[in-house]
Structure 1
Amino acid sequence: MKRICSIYKSPRKNEMYLYVLKAEALSRVPEGLLALFGPPVHAFDLVLTPERKLAREDIGQVLENLEKQGYHLQMPPPEDEYIQHLPDELLRRNDPV
């Protein structure tokens, strides 16, 4: 199953993305979700297949959500994941002396 998907980023929440089928655009996304998400900013289009790897999402779940509900919401990673990626020297600077 190959799907052409448009991906939108949220102007309100860093690293929050909304995947929709390109042909349907935002028509199946609930108004309440769009209100919380903010005005969607088109990031890019992508061809999704079951074999494709995504950096932070399970492709099977994304395709299933697109088929069943018409969208997939990618939430930002938990904040502790941001801290794990900081260089050690930055973490040491914030330690009390």
Structure 2
Amino acid sequence: MHCDIYRSSKKDEMYLYVATPAQENTDPFEIIPEAVRQAFGKPTFVMHLELHEQRKLARVNVLHVMDSLQTKGFFMQMPPEGLINPNAVEPEGLRGA
């Protein structure tokens, strides 16, 4: 399965995997819902990728991506959530350090 990956202009580390269209002159973004396009912003091409069950992806399960590409025609990879909550209460031992 082949797809193209695009980077979002609105949010760092947000990527859109789009199934490669069967016909060459087809707009790959015509299948993307308008609300998703608005949230994603201007897509910047990153790379073309061939997906298969044994392929490892850095942040997402390849089988999940492949399933989404087959059913919806696209997969949106969201930015990773921060490991540190800036609003969390500091542990007792670190206050005033």
Q: TM-score range by the shorter chain?
A: 0.7 to 0.9
Percent of pairs with identical residues: 37
Aligned counterpart, 1:41? 44
The residue aligned with 1:5 is 3
Partner amino acid, structure 1, of 2:30: S
Whose helix fraction is larger, Structure 1's or Structure 2's?
Answer: 1
2:17 partner amino acid: Y
Aligned residues between the structures: 82
Q: Which has the larger radius of gyration?
A: 2
TM-score (norm 2): 0.77
The structural deviation recorded for 1:31 is 1.0
* Structure 1 portions without partners, runs of 5+: 82-94
> Cα offset for 1:96?
5.6
Note the residue ranges of structure 2 that are not aligned, 5 or more in a row. Answer: 85-94
Superposed counterparts of 1:11-90, under 5 Å: 11-23=9-21, 25-80=28-83
Q: Which residue of 1 aligns with 2:88?
A: none
Moved over 4 A (4+): none
Alpha-carbon distance, 1:68 to partner: 0.5
Rounded Cα–Cα distance in structure 1 between residues aligned with 2:40 and 2:96: 37
**CA deviation digits over 1:34-79, x for unaligned, max 9?**
0110011111110011111101010010000000011000000002
Aligned to 2:2, the other structure's residue is in SS state strand
Whichever residue aligns with residue 82 of structure 2, its letter is E
TM-score by length of 1: 0.77
